[in-house]
Amino acid sequence: MKQNKGDSTILTRSYHSSAYSDKKRLVELKKSKNLTISLAFPTLNEESTIAKEILVLKTELMDRFPLLDEIAVIDSGSTDKTREIAKQFGASVFTSSEILKNYDSHRGKGENLWKSLYVLKGDIIVWIDADISNINPKFLYGLVGPLLENDDVGYVKAYYKRPIRSSTGLTPSGGGRVTEILIRPLFSLFYPELSQLVQPLSGEYAGRRSILEQLPFSVGYGVEVGHLIDLFHQFGPGIIAQVDMDERIHRNQTIEALSRMSYGVLATFLSRLEKYQEISLVKEMGKFHIALEADGNNLKAVHSPISLIERPPMRTIPEYNLKFPVPVMEEDLKRTSSPDL
């Protein structure tokens, strides 16, 4: 059931991070609402950027202004020094495959995010990609600000200008290519309300545990788009806000990588449409992303398996329920509610 709280236009809940730069006020808000906040970085070989991200955010938002209660790295098995460096700079480090071992392990960012819900302690969870070159505290306080200020907001996404970092320097425009070519047209066709998100695929977002634990997680590239469609259906677009972080400098991705990403995102999108009975697929979707590569004078097809696995809502995992019992009021509400609620 949609709980269309407040205005359903995401653009009216679009803020600038500077609106939340008074960190003392945010700390007071957090205390008064008796909330805790956790930050997790999903990582795979991020030794060149992870130290700076942890150092800046920990120093500013744990030591100076105690807005954050916890910083963790959820690692997919890095072969570089990501884990050692993260530990040295003060983050708790978890290896994804070691979390909830009874539930297998899959490789992908979505897997790390899903598992982070189990190991993190906070009422508000923030996820930030570990490859940001120009990390700034605003990435964090900008995301948690709307959640602390407005109880109706449950999920906040970052957006920004995205100059991309390449061997020739910074390209001022670019980035967000998958969004503009694939996601925005799809949202325009099926979910016009969600097309008001500037960067629906951005890797920096925050949400309330009480909401995130009710969402399934795509293990791979589709995790963000899956969240947005599930939030739309389960809670209504009124729960989503977005915050302008000015600029984010990150690595450039090749067209081949973006093509694989698009495959994962599109597969999640189509499976969600089917789940919510908005389209009916009459044919099973392909299991591989197929790229063409030059092989001498010929071309060859390269099949890459892209994980389309979905993790169920964390609330359905018994170990999670033991660790984070459903609050009594919530239990009562469930018993008295009709089954379709």
Partner 1 sequence: MRDIYLFLRRMAGFLGLLFGGKKAWEARKELKKLDTAQWSRRIISDGILLNEIPSPTEDEHLRMKFISKRLEEFGISNVFSDEWGNVLALFPAFGSRQDFMLLVAEVGDCDYSPLENSVQITRELASGQNLGERSIGAASLLVFAEFAQATGFHLEKNLMVLFTRSSSVDEREDAFRHFLGSWADRISCAILVHGTKLGVLETKPMGTYRLSINVKSQERELLSPNAGPSAASIMGNIASRLGDITWDGPQKAMVNIARMEAGDGFGHWATQGEMDIEIISDDDKTLESIKHSVVETIESASEGLKYKIESLIRFRRSVGDPRRNAPLIDTLRTALEKVQIKTEEGLVSDKISLLNEKGIPAVCVGMTKATGNQNRDEIELGLIDSGFRQLLLVIEGGSRALEPVKEGQQ
Please, what is the minimum distance in Å from the beta carbon of residue 27 to partner 1? 11
Residue of 149, 135, 128 whose CA lies nearest to 13: 149
List Cα–Cα distances, 189 to 99, 192, 268, in angstroms. 38, 7, 16
Please, what is the minimum distance in Å from the beta carbon of residue 51 to partner 1? 4
Please, what is the minimum distance in Å from the beta carbon of residue 252 to partner 1? 12
CA distance 191 to 334: 29
- The encoded tokens of residue 313 equal 């809502």
Please, what is the minimum distance in Å from the beta carbon of residue 55 to partner 1? 6
Instruction: Answer for the pair 41, 49: CB distance below 8 angstroms, yes or no.
Output: no
| Residue closer to partner 1 (CB basis): 58 or 315 | 58
CA distance 175 to 161: 8
Binding residues (CB under 8 A) for partner 1: these are 23-24, 47-49, 51-52, 55-56, 58-60, 63-64, 81, 84-85, 88, 133-134, 136-137, 163, 165, 169-170, 249
| Residue closer to partner 1 (CB basis): 56 or 258 | 56
| Residue closer to partner 1 (CB basis): 55 or 326 | 55
| Residue closer to partner 1 (CB basis): 63 or 98 | 63
| Residue closer to partner 1 (CB basis): 137 or 207 | 137
Burial class (CB in 10 A: 0-12, 13-18, 19+), 328: exposed
Please, what is the minimum distance in Å from the beta carbon of residue 62 to partner 1? 10
| Residue closer to partner 1 (CB basis): 249 or 258 | 249
In one-letter notation, the amino acid at residue 99 is: I
Q: What are phi and psi of 243, to 5 degrees?
A: -130, 135
Please, what is the minimum distance in Å from the beta carbon of residue 30 to partner 1? 17
Helix, strand, coil shares of the chain, percent, nearest 5, are: 45, 20, 35
Up-side HSE of residue 230: CA atoms within 13 Å toward CB? Answer: 21
